[in-house]
Amino acid sequence: MDFEPSSEQQMLIDMVRRFVRTEIIPLEAKLDPDASELAPEDHARLVQKTKAMGLYGIDIPVEFGGPDIDIVTRTLLAIEMSQHRAGLYVPCYGTFGGAGLAQIFEANDDQKERYLYPTLRGEKKPFFGLTEPSGGSDPARAIKTRAERRDQGWVINGSKIFISGADRAQYGIVFARTDASKGRGGITCFIVDADTPGFHVRRVVHTLRSSSYATELEFKDCWVSDAQVLGQVNGGFAVANDRLTRQRIPYAAACIGVAIAAHEMAVEWSKMRETFGSRLSDRQAIQWMLVDNEIDIRTARYFTLEAAERARRGIPFRTEAALCKLIASESGGRVVDRSMQIHGGMGMTKDLPLERWYREMRIRRIGEGPSEVQRMLVAREILGASVR
């Protein structure tokens, strides 16, 4: 496959690159090193710029007002958007907008009016409630939260953990077991309003991300009507699985962007820094680290664009999505680690973004499915579906 950008793709890439370097990076110099938000006036100003660029909400389907940009181009742009301090988890601080949760596009007309359109207008924020204390990588079996039929609706009991943004959301997409005898075929997806009696955020869960946190949720006799079922009863696993598979491609792209930025910093530093009478770049030990960075970045980029291209063509890409997430998250971590090593003591300070990327990249080997799960998915493809 040829992944050289077309002239139109290169034009968009250049636009985003200029935006990151002239608008985002200068603002970051004035922010706390762990900041994940811009001042409201800066955010509003930059949103107007991305709208003028025609790139606001690039992952929103065209029928809902998004620009008609294919997934390969979106992947190339995601690589550019992440090349700044907060870019791994907050690319361009959200100034390019986004669809929020892809599952909500499967809503019926009534749900679209109540949830999808307000979300696209920025009036409502959702959360994605899948992972539970019993596990998150095997949702077919790990989901213990139950929803029982009662009073022309459903009563939900259970808990979720590592849920981002639930304490600031107006509603959530929550997965619960509705038929214990059917395994992955017994899970249903519900839309739960944040003010529904019986639902509450139990506690905040702090992680390696200093400026952000996850939450633990509790559902206790939480009743929702039939109108809150998203999709089909017992059809929730397909909804969750499709989202997780597609999300692995932009997830990998962000790792590549950060790796590229770290590598560029390391190259420049090695040419400038002198020790024992010569530049770091003259030392074979440093040269080999830079070469290994280059290999990791090119490998991750190839596998990620391959997954995106298969998704664009509409052919199966589950194995390729697992491979690109695995390779990009692990190789991205190695690149940041080597770049930090080349910077020596400065690499550990908050003066540079390497310290933040080092912590946050570690999460990427677990988030959206740990490396071991991705390897298991690929092994199933190699050895056959009978492998458990």
HEC-encoded secondary structure of the chain = CCCCCCHHHHHHHHHHHHHHHHHHHHHHCCCCCCCCCCCHHHHHHHHHHHHHCCCCCCCCCHHHCCCCCCHHHHHHHHHHHCCCCCCCCCHHHHCCCCCCCHHHHHCCHHHHHHHHHHHHCCCCCEEEECCECCECCCHHHHCCCEEEEECCEEEEEEEEEEEECHHHCCEEEEEEECCCCCHHHHEEEEEEECCCCCEEEEEEEECCCCCCEEEEEEEEEEEEEHHHEECCCCCHHHHHHHHHHHHHHHHHHHHHHHHHHHHHHHHHHHHHCEECCEEHHHCHHHHHHHHHHHHHHHHHHHHHHHHHHHHHHCCCCHHHHHHHHHHHHHHHHHHHHHHHHHHHHHHHCCCCCHHHHHHHHHHHCCCCCCHHHHHHHHHHHHHCCCCC
Q: How far is CA 333 from the centre of its chain?
A: 16
Identify whether 368 is a catalytic site residue. yes
End-to-end Cα spacing for the chain: 32
Q: Which residue has the tokens 């990151």?
A: 20
Q: Which two tokens stand for residue 170?
A: 């107006």
Q: Which residue has the tokens 């490396």?
A: 371
φ, ψ for residue 252, nearest 5 deg: -70, -40
Q: Which listed residue (132, 368, 372, 381) is catalytic?
A: 368
Contacts of 138 (CB under 8 A, 6+ apart): none
Q: Which two tokens stand for residue 349?
A: 């300070």
Positive or negative CA dihedral for 31, 37, 39, 42?
positive
Supply the residues annotated as catalytic.
368
